[in-house]
Amino acid sequence: MLSQAGARKSSRTKRPLRLCFVGWGAIASRVGELLADRQPETVEIVAVAVRDADRERAGLPEGIRLISSPEEFAGLDLDMVIEAAGRPAVAIWGEAALRHAGSFVVSSTSAFTDEALLGLLLAVADETGSRILVPSGALGDLGALAAASVLPLDEVSHAIVKPPRAWSGTKAADLVDLDKLTQRTEFFSGSAREAAASFPQNANVAVITALSGIGLDRTRVVLVADPGISRNVHEISAFGAFGKLDLRFENEQLKTNPKSSEMTALSLVRLVENSVATLIR
């Protein structure tokens, strides 16, 4: 017969965390690579959800199952689904992920500017007991801002400063001549909701700041192209009853996608590792 301590130890025996990615682009493949190196025994990538499963994808781990419809989550016995495929993927895969996994990690947080979609996902999570997790993304960790928001916050601002090429292919190209900039140039100022809705690939991170602080409509965001830098920079300021906070992040660009930062992938690795760790850091 097991002793009480032995019974507790047996009940806590962990199986590998069963993980599915939505999308297998620059971020997901980088996270998969790092997890394979760091957590080969505690994390198992069992599937990747895509809309075109017949297309060849580089770097897929051997034995990974490609699925092409949300219904295929059923039966995979998933612990976590990580979305890393862009804003439309949240609406396509989110509800099913919450019904068939313990947690749904949303990287494309610009989807939360759609209040109806956010309301639906929150309702499903409440119904099923699953959780919606927002990674810290390019900001590494905003625990200080989230803690500060326990008391009233008066103001939160976030400047997103990137090299001009990181803004190519976005609305920024219609507002400034990215190829001819010679100095730091601000081309957008507005709320986090407006920034993320208009620049979903580059300003997802503004939603993370907003959710950590005073919300999508009160958080002020400035978008800047600066030919004098090579990293993606985030400058966050807040003040309120807690005092005053200033944070600055200078992130290396993801080699395969300059619109994203290496830190975006690293934050997902940390989130997954904390889900299986005994010591949470």
Please enumerate, by residue number, every residue annotated as part of a binding site for NAD(+): 138, 204
In sequence order, what are the residues at sequence separation of 6 or more whose Cβ sits closer than 8 angstroms to the Cβ of residue 102?
78, 79, 80, 130, 131
For the record, the structure tokens of 42 come out as 């505690």
Q: Is 234 a catalytic residue?
A: yes
Cβ burial of 110 (10 Å; 0-12, 13-18, 19+) is buried
∠ CA 248-250-251, nearest 5°, is 135
66 near 40, Cβ under 8 Å?
A: no
Q: Which of 18, 234, 259, 270 is catalytic?
A: 234
Give residue for tokens 């507005």: 190
CB atoms within 10 A of CB 33: 14
- Give how far Cα 171 sits from Cα of 98, 118, 167, 201, 276, Å: 33, 25, 8, 11, 40
Q: Tell which residue, 143, 138, 92, has the closest CA to residue 114.
A: 92
Distance CA 218, CA 152 (A): 13
Distance CA 16, CA 215 (A): 36
* Catalytic positions: 234
